[in-house]
Amino acid sequence: MFLTCRGSQTSITDTGPAVDVRRGTTPLHPLFSFECEGNAAHSVGFSKEGDRVSQPGTASGPGRTPAWRYAIGMFGTSIPINMIKGSMILFYVDILGLDVRAYGVVMVMYAVIDALDNPLLGHLSDRTRSRFGRRRPWLLVGAPMLAACMIAFFSAPTSLQGIGLVLWFAVFAILCEAFDSMLNANYGALLPELYPRERDRAVANGLRQGFQLVALVISLAVTPVLTTDVFGTEESTQGFQITAIIYGAVALVVIVFMALGMRENPRYSTRERPPLLRSVWSIVRNPMFWTVGLTGACYGIAMALVLSGIQLYVRYSLGLPVGNALYLQGIVILVSAGGLVVWTRVVARRGALWTWRLAFAVLAAGFAALFFATDLVTAIAAGVVVGAGWSGMLATNDLIVARVLDADAARNGEHREGLFLSAFGFFGRLNGIVTGLALTSLGVFFGYNSGADPGADPGLAFRVYLCVYPFVLTTIGAVAARLISVPIETPPEAAEPVEPPPPGPVDESAVERPR
C-alpha cells in the first residue's frame, strides 16, 4: 500500500506489498510505504501483524541494546554446556566405568535427536509472538531447565552399573542438549537482529566470544582443579556435583540478566508466521547453507574433540595429573581472548571471509604442533598456536553465517534467524556423532575401552584423538574455505522485512568470491 501526496491532496493506493526501495519511496513497513511529490512528506503510523492493524505511534523502534549486555549472555550459556562436554568422558567413562562402546552409541543418539530438535526449536522461536518478544520467553524458560539437568547429569549415583548407568547418562545428556539448543537457538538469533551492520556485529561478537573464553577458563581450565582437588578427588564424583551446582546458579543469574536487558526489534516479528516445511525446504535448497555449514562444521567438530579429550590427553599423553589441564587450557584460552582484539581489527581491514580462511590455516598448524608435544612446556607452546587459530575462528565464523542469514532475509522477506541458525546447528550437532565414533575408534585401534581397561598405549590413543583427528578436519576446512563464496555485507535497510522477489537466479554480483 502506498500513500501518495500531491500538493494538499492525499490518496491511498493499495498496490500490494512493496518489493524494493525506489527513489522517492520510503518504506514504513513491508506492507506500507509512502511517496511524495514536491516538498510535502507525510508518514503513516500504521503497521500490520497478521490480520490486526495497530494504531499510530506503536511502531517506534526499540532503544539499542548495549553490546556488553548482549555479549555477557554468552558467559551464561557457555558455562553449563562446556562443563558437560569437557568432563563427560572423564566422569562417566574414566571414573564411573561406562564402556566406550555404550558411550559411542549414546552420543550417536544424542546427535540425531539434537539435529532434529534444533530446527523445530528455532522455528517455534521465529513464530513466537508475545509482549515480551520472540526470544526472551525461551531464554527465561531454558536457563533454569538447563541448570537443573546439568546438576542431575553430574549426580549419577556411584552404585549405578551396566544398563542403569547407560540410561542415566543417556537421559540427562539428551535433556541437557535439548535445553542448550533452546538457549542457543534464541541467543544466536539475536546477533544479526540487534546489530545489523557488520562493524557493530563484529564488536558485539568479539565481546561475546571474549565472555565465552572467560567461561571456558572457568568451565574447562578451573573445573579439573575444583572437581579433583578442591571439592573432590581424582577418583570420586562428589566434586563434580558441587561444581555443577555452583556453575548452574551462576549461569542462571547471567542469562536472566541478559534476557531482561536486551531489546528486540518489533518489526522482525510483525510478519505472518511462516510454515515449517516450506521454510526448511527453502533453506536446504540454498547452496550456501551446505557449503558454509559443512566448512564451519570442520572447525566445530575439531574443537569438540579438543574440549572432550584435553583432560585425558594431559593424564595419558603427557603423563601428568588431570589438574595440570588448568595450565594448558588456561594459556590457550588467554591467548584466544587476547587475539580477539587483533582478529577483530583484521576483520575491519580485510573482511570476514579473508580472515576466516587465515584462521583456519593457523588452527590446523596448531594441532600439528600439539601432536609432537612431550611435556607441559612444549604442549603450552603448541597451545599458543592453537589459541591464535581458535581466536580467529571465534571472531569470524559467526560473521560468515550472519551474512548468509542477512541474504536470506533480504531475498525471502522473512526474518527466520532462529530456524536458519538451528539448521546450521545441524552441522554442529554432528559433533556428537564424530566424537562418539572417534572415542570408539580408540578401542578398536589402541585398546582403550575405559579407565579400568585403558589398553597398552593410551598416551598415543589420546594424542591421535586430540591432535590427528582435529588436524585432518581443520585442514579440510582450510581448503574448503578457499573455494567457497559468501554474500557481501547486506546494508541494514536492505535487510528489513520485505516481500520476496519472484523466483529466479541469484545476483552473482552480490557474492564475495575467493581472492
Q: What average pLDDT does the structure give for the chain? A: 78
Strand order in the sheet with 2-6: 9-13, 2-6, 32-36, 25-29
Kindly report which listed range (258-272, 290-304, 322-336, 372-386) carries the lowest average pLDDT score: 258-272
Mean pLDDT of 338-344: 90
User: Long-range contact list for 278-285, CB < 8 A, 24+ apart?
Assistant: 279/123, 279/126, 279/414, 279/416, 279/419, 280/119, 280/123, 280/419, 280/423, 282/412, 283/408, 283/419, 283/420, 283/423, 284/423
Pick the residue with more confidence: 368 or 440? 368
- Rounded to 5 degrees, φ, ψ at 236 are -110, 170
What is the model's pLDDT at position 17? Answer: 40
Question: In the 3-class helix/strand/coil scheme, how is 334-400 assigned residue by residue?
Answer: HHHHHHHHHHHHHHHHHCHHHHHHHHHHHHHHHHHHHHCCCCHHHHHHHHHHHHHHHHHHHHHHHHH
H-assigned helices in 128-226: 136-153, 162-194, 198-216, 223-225
Give the range with max mean pLDDT: 115-124, 218-227, 372-381, 430-439. Answer: 372-381
| Cα 365 to the center of its chain, rounded Å | 24
- Give the tens place of pLDDT for each residue, 348-357: 888 889 999 9
pLDDT for residue 247: 95
For residue range 75-121, list pLDDT tens digits in order.
999 999 989 988 888 899 888 989 888 988 888 888 778 777 777 77
| pTM to 2 decimal places | 0.62
Q: What is the pLDDT of residue 489?
A: 64
Domains of the chain as residue ranges with CATH: 65-265 (1.20.1250.20), 281-485 (1.20.1250.20)
CA distance linking residue 113 with residue 123, whole number of Å = 16
- Work out the pLDDT band at 20, boundaries 50, 70, 90: very low
Task: Report the percent of the chain where pLDDT is more than 90.
Answer: 33
Checking if the pLDDT of 474 tops 50, the result is yes
In the structure, what pLDDT confidence band is assigned to residue 61 with cuts at 50, 70 and 90?
A: very low
pLDDT of residue 28: 36
Pairwise CA distance, residues 172 & 369, whole Å: 36
Rounded mean pLDDT, 236-251? 93
pLDDT digits (tens, 9 = 90+) for 256-312: 999 998 887 766 655 556 676 777 777 778 888 888 888 998 998 999 898 888 888
The pLDDT value recorded for residue 399 is 86
Comparing 500 with 143, the larger pLDDT belongs to 143
Q: Residue 250 above 90 pLDDT? A: yes
- For residue 30, give the 3-state DSSP assignment: coil
Neighbours of 64 (CB within 10 A): 10
Residue with cell 578436519: 473
Q: What is the mean pLDDT of residues 127-143?
A: 86
**How much is the pLDDT for 45?**
37
The Cα–Cα gap between 394 and 409 comes to 24
Residue with cell 517506534: 60
